Amino acid sequence: MYDDLKRQIVDVFRYIEEKGWNHGRAGNISIYIRKENRVLITPSGVPKSKLKPEEILVLDAEGNVIEGVGKPTIELPMHLAIYKAYDYVNAIIHAHGIYSTTLAIAREPLPALIDEMIIYVGGDIRVAEYAPPGTSELAENIVKALEGRKAAIIANHGLIACGRDLEEATEILGLVERISQAYIFAKLLGKVNLLPKEIVELHGKTFISRLK
């Protein structure tokens, strides 16, 4: 079942590895089919660039495996909590890009530096407080950091990017990783200029309208 969506997950993982936005066995991806209450998610402990479509697991909305062999990613509670909290999210990518991970290690949020960050992601990217991987506490922290946003930095860990579909989540992942890089470079130059408050408010209305 869901062969096309499984292939999408595999293709996206290969794409983001080629881009340097993830590496090795790290990261996880899921898609939520709301009308059927089914979650497609990557397995635990597998090199993501070598994933095969048949290795993608199909779960029910409570996280029980319906189709596939192996264990879902340890971050399953995080994925389920996000889907439960935000009905505009139907796809999630958790990745370990070098620049967003740098901010995660520094536990430094990413300010709203360019217009696209507000229009497409919602504004500044918050840092979810640290909690051990795979815990309900971490899931709760990430849900909180994602309020009004489609991305969040996970302290000492990596990045979460969300979308209505996997294509949008991939686009947001790339946007946040690129702006994280630009932000770090700007800090090295010693000057970071934020967008005017009125522009942030204007674009914020655009983002909210896109959620409806």
Q: In which residue are the tokens 């999210």 written?
A: 89
Does the pLDDT value for residue 143 go beyond 90? yes
Lowest pLDDT segment from 88-97, 102-111, 188-197, 203-212: 203-212
Q: What is the CA radius of gyration of the chain?
A: 17
Question: Mean per-residue pLDDT for 161-174?
Answer: 98
The average confidence (pLDDT) of the chain is: 94
**Non-local CB neighbours of 195 within 8 Å, separated by 6+ positions:** 112, 113, 114, 115, 118
Q: What is the pLDDT of residue 212?
A: 65
Topology annotation, domain 3-211: L-fuculose-1-phosphate Aldolase (3.40.225)
Copy the structure tokens of residue 91: 């796809």
Select which of 62, 75, 147, 171 is catalytic.
75
d(CA 125, CA 156): 15
Copy the structure tokens of residue 50: 């070598």
pLDDT in tens, 15-47: 999 999 999 899 999 999 999 999 999 999 889
Known catalytic residue at 75: yes
Confidence band, pLDDT 50/70/90 cuts, at residue 76? very high
pTM attached to this predicted model: 0.95
